[in-house]
Chains A and B, each alone.
Chain A
Amino acid sequence: MAWLRMEGSEVGSVAATVASHTDSNVILWFRTFNAICRSGFRRHATYRQAALAGVVTNTVFGFLRCYVLLAVAGAAGTAGGYDRAQLVTFVWVGQGLLAVVLLWGWTDLADRIRTGDIAGDLLRPVHPVTSYLATDLGRAGYAVLARMLPPILVGPLFFDVHLPARWPTVPLFVGSVVLAVVLCFACRFLVNATAYWLQDVRGPMVLWTLGSGVLAGLYFPLRFLPEEIQRVLWFGTPFPSLLQTPLDVLVERDPPATQAGLVALQAGWVVLLLAGCRLVQRRAERRLVVQGG
């Protein structure tokens, strides 16, 4: 018993009820949220080699996509309403944004449901959606530094890029990225939450990977599509709000009113899908089976 040193009833004083607080609940909630965010940042900052591998891959694919889109623009120099510099910015910022919104590769929740570790999340006094969201925002913060900045810095070294000409574009872009991160989190949470019913989420995950890649504007800008289809995608699905909207806002593809409208639409999707996450979580908890012991 090398590590145990008994000192009378000292252990007893370990236990006591939590003291009452003088701060308001809102402030305490933000402190908790902030602490979970910071822990999300730290947790992901430990995987530096993975970040480096991701950056190299995104940068290589950046060149590939860039040359393809510039070829599409051809001699005319425009495609889908973008000029060459806008297309370059679209690609290189998109390559960085991909890891920030994290379209793919997140199965944490599904894994914890499958193994039963979700019980640990439910035993904490923070709603699971809030807790996972805060962690994801921390992760996204780290991804901005480690995954988004390198491609954004590499692109202009080899191509002419579009820089925002209107000052409101910058704050609008920042807001749009934050909304895209939250929205993408909500989508991933919902895909993962199918594990409550299915146990194995490979099917929904394949659908999500295919659907999000095409419909979020990663493979090609959605503005290449006919306008009717664009309308259906923007208003009928959350996908364009994940990547296409922040990138369109940044490259100033549309006039200011449309820019703001697209971000407002993103915000609408965020509210709807976060409410969906809470609803799904509540229903799932009612029929939850915690696996194994």
Chain B
Amino acid sequence: MSLVIDARGLRKEFTVRVKAGRLRRERRSVVAVDGVDLRIERGEMLGYIGPNGAGKSTTLKMLTGVLTPSAGQARVCGLLPVPQRARLARGIGVVFGQRSQLWWDLPLRDSFDLLRHVYRVPAAEHAARLRRCRGLLDLDGFLDIPVRQLSLGQRMRGELTAALLHGPQVLFLDEPTIGLDVVSKQAVRGFLAELGRAGDTTLVLTTHDLADIERLCHRLVVIDHGRVVHDGTIAELHRRYGSRRLVVAELDAALVTPLTLPGAPLQRVEADGRRLVYALESAGVAEVVAGLAGLTTLRDLSILEPDIEDVVARLYRTPARSG
């Protein structure tokens, strides 16, 4: 395995002007990314997540050469992103969920053809890749429609194709499923999963939709306040932040006082007291059931596996620490 992305101590500071009186404005420095280290091997699928303003997109923009880091260094595909941006552009693909990289007034087919010339891809290679994307992403129905008239789901399929037509080694995806309906989301995920399984493209995915991460990424990097707070597998994240299984007990009638069980704190009471949710700490499922069965009639019982959203939400709420 070889390193495709090697970032050390990446830091980005922005200067913002803040009103400090009727006419006076003060310059203030805001640290968006604060010493991020990232090493990504060829073929890896990495989830890069964090709350709004954590520095995800800024990191991506530094890795792609769009933003100049204030400190630190990075190599992507063996190149320095900012000084060698034009060369690097041929080796990477980028999809922004919130921006279009296609030409608004051109039909998709023309956009793709223009990209062939922009990236100087030989015609046969371009045709082969486009043929495969057309098949896999079912583009044929709207290839001749101007991009401005496409639905979001159609446009995103076009964006994915556009990002892959020059055969990039690394594909950066910045919230590729934002705003998509469930079906389109699943389809994009399926396509990316298949791309990742082939193993020759490295995927870096930032998203707020953790289902994207669960479906696609083995490795997860969590960033908060510009610092990496977790770098490991999703299972490691659960272990590290003490994710707990939940026992949901549906009762026939509400208890006067919800039962407190040792080793299984009551998480929440729902449905007018007829649904109790306990988190399993030291207690086992059997102890919770036994405790409840002694007091009331259980109508139903279910056990929920740890939810990544829950873990990540707790992680976001905790003060930043170095990982």
Q: Kindly identify which residue among B66, B119, B136, B171 contacts A119, using a CB–CB cutoff of 8 Å.
A: B66
Q: Does A11 contact B (CB under 8 A)?
A: yes
Residue of chain B at shortest CB distance from A21: B120
Nearest residue (CB) in B for A112 is B99
A36 to chain B, nearest CB (A): 7
CB contacts (< 8 Å) of A117 on chain B: these are 99-100
Tell whether, in the assembled complex, residue B135 and residue A7 are in contact, meaning their CB atoms are under 8 Å apart. Answer: yes
Question: When A15-B198, A290-B67 are in contact, do A4 and B90 touch as well, CB less than 8 Å?
Answer: no
Quote the shortest CB–CB distance from B211 to chain A (angstroms).
Answer: 15
* Set A10, A17, A126: member contacting B169, Cβ < 8 A: A17
Q: Determine if B254 is an interface residue (Cβ-Cβ < 8 Å).
A: no
Bitwise interface map of B from 47 to 61 toward A, beta carbon under 8 Å scored 1, else 0 = 000000000010001
Which B residues lie within 8 Å of A36 (CB)? Answer: 114, 117-118
User: With a CB–CB cut-off of 8 A, which chain A residues contact B136?
Assistant: 4-7, 10-11, 14
A288 and B67 in contact, given A119-B61, A120-B101 (Cβ under 8 angstroms):
yes
Interface string of A263-291 (1 = CB under 8 A from B): 00000000000000000000001101110
> CB of B287 within 8 A of chain A?
no
Question: Contact check: which of A16, A46, A116 meets B167 at CB < 8 Å?
Answer: A16
Given known contacts A4-B136, A42-B110, is B200 in contact with A12 (CB within 8 Å)? yes
Tell me if B94 and A293 are in contact (CB < 8 A).
no
Residue from B85, B117, B167 within 8 A of A31 (CB atoms): B117
- Of the residues A2, A124, A125, contact of B183 by C-beta under 8 Å: A2
A174 contacts chain B at the CB level, 8 A cutoff: no
What A residues does B200 contact at CB under 8 A?
12, 15-16
Size category of the A interface is 35 or more
B175 A293 Cβ-Cβ under 8 A: yes
B233 contacts the other chain (CB 8 A): no
Cβ of A11 and Cβ of B117 under 8 Å apart?
Answer: no
For chain A, residues 184 to 210, give those with C-beta under 8 angstroms from any C-beta of chain B.
none
Residues of B within 8 A of A4 (CB): 136-138, 187, 190-191
Please tell me if the beta carbons of B86 and A19 are within 8 angstroms of each other in the complex.
no
Residue from the list B86, B116, B197 in contact with A127, Cβ < 8 A: B86
> Measured between C-beta atoms, what is the minimum distance from B142 to chain A in Å?
10
Q: CA–CA, A13 to B190, complex, Å?
A: 16
Query: Cβ of B176: which chain A residues have Cβ within 8 Å of it?
Result: none
Interface residue B267 (Cβ < 8 Å from any Cβ of A)? no
Chain A contacts with B in 1-52, Cβ cutoff 8 A: 1-7, 9-19, 21, 28, 31-32, 34-36, 39, 42-44, 46-47
Residue numbers in B under 8 Å from A6 (CB-CB): 136, 190, 194
B190–A125 CB distance below 8 A: no
B146 within 8 A of A: yes
Q: Among the listed B82, B118, B133, B171, which residue makes an inter-chain contact with A35, where contact means beta carbons less than 8 Å apart?
A: B118
Residue numbers in B under 8 Å from A2 (CB-CB): 138, 183, 187
Asked if B34 is at the interface of the complex by the 8 Å CB criterion, the answer is: no
- Bitwise, B179-198 to A at CB < 8 A (1) or not (0) is 00001001100110011011
**Are A14's CB and B133's CB within 8 A?**
yes
Point out the residues of chain A lying under 8 angstroms from B65, CB to CB: 122-123
> What is the bound-complex CA distance between A199 and B86, given in angstroms?
25
Contacts of B117 in A (CB 8 A): 31-32, 34-36
- List the A side residues contacting B85 at CB < 8 Å: 122
The interface residues of chain B lying within 8 Å CB-to-CB of A226 are none
Using Cβ atoms and an 8 Å threshold, which residues of chain B touch A288?
66-68
In the assembled complex, the Cα of A9 lies from the Cα of B196 at a distance in Å of 9
Of the stretches B121-129, B255-263, B268-276, B290-298, the one at the interface is B121-129
**Residue A171 CB within 8 A of the other chain:** no
A47 CA / B272 CA spacing, docked (Å): 61
B67 and A125 within 8 A (CB): no
Q: Which residues of B contact A46 (CB under 8 A)?
A: 105, 146
If the complex has contacts A1-B183, A21-B120, are A124 and B89 also in contact, measured as CB distance less than 8 A? yes
Judge whether B242 is part of the interface by a CB distance below 8 angstroms.
Answer: no
Tell whether B14 is near chain A: CB-to-CB under 8 Å. Answer: yes
Closest A-chain residue to B14, C-beta based?
Answer: A289
Give the interface centre of B114, B133, B169 by most chain A CB atoms within 10 Å: B114
Contact of B197 among A12, A119, A290 (CB under 8 A): A12
Q: Is B226 an interface residue (CB 8 A)?
A: no
* Residues of A close to B103: CB separation below 8 A: 39, 43
Query: Which residues of the partner chain A approach B100 to less than 8 Å between Cβ atoms?
Result: 117, 120
Interface residue from A13, A35, A289 paired with B132 (Cβ < 8 Å): A13
A286 touches B197 (CB 8 A): no
**From residue B77, how far is it (CB to closest CB) to chain A in Å?**
9
Question: Do the beta carbons of A3 and B195 come within 8 Å of each other?
Answer: no
A292: Cβ under 8 A from any B Cβ: yes
Residues of A within 8 A of B119 (CB): 18, 124-125
Q: Is the CB of B106 within 8 A of A9?
A: no
Partner of A3, one of B132, B137, B166, B194: B137
Q: A290–B14 Cα gap in the complex (Å)? A: 11
Would you give the 0/1 interface string for B72-94, flagging 1 where the beta carbon is closer than 8 Å to chain A?
A: 00000000001001110111101
Give me the 3 closest cross-chain CB pairs, A-B, nearest first: A12-B198, A3-B138, A35-B117
Identify 11 new A-B residue pairs, CB closer than 8 A, beyond the known A6-B190, A117-B99, A126-B118.
A5-B135, A7-B135, A11-B194, A11-B195, A12-B197, A15-B164, A18-B120, A39-B103, A43-B105, A46-B105, A119-B61
Q: A residues touching B (Cβ–Cβ < 8 Å)?
A: 1-7, 9-19, 21, 28, 31-32, 34-36, 39, 42-44, 46-47, 115-117, 119-120, 122-127, 131, 285-286, 288-290, 292-293
11 contacts between A and B (CB under 8 A): A4-B191, A16-B167, A21-B122, A28-B120, A31-B117, A46-B105, A115-B99, A123-B66, A123-B94, A125-B86, A293-B98
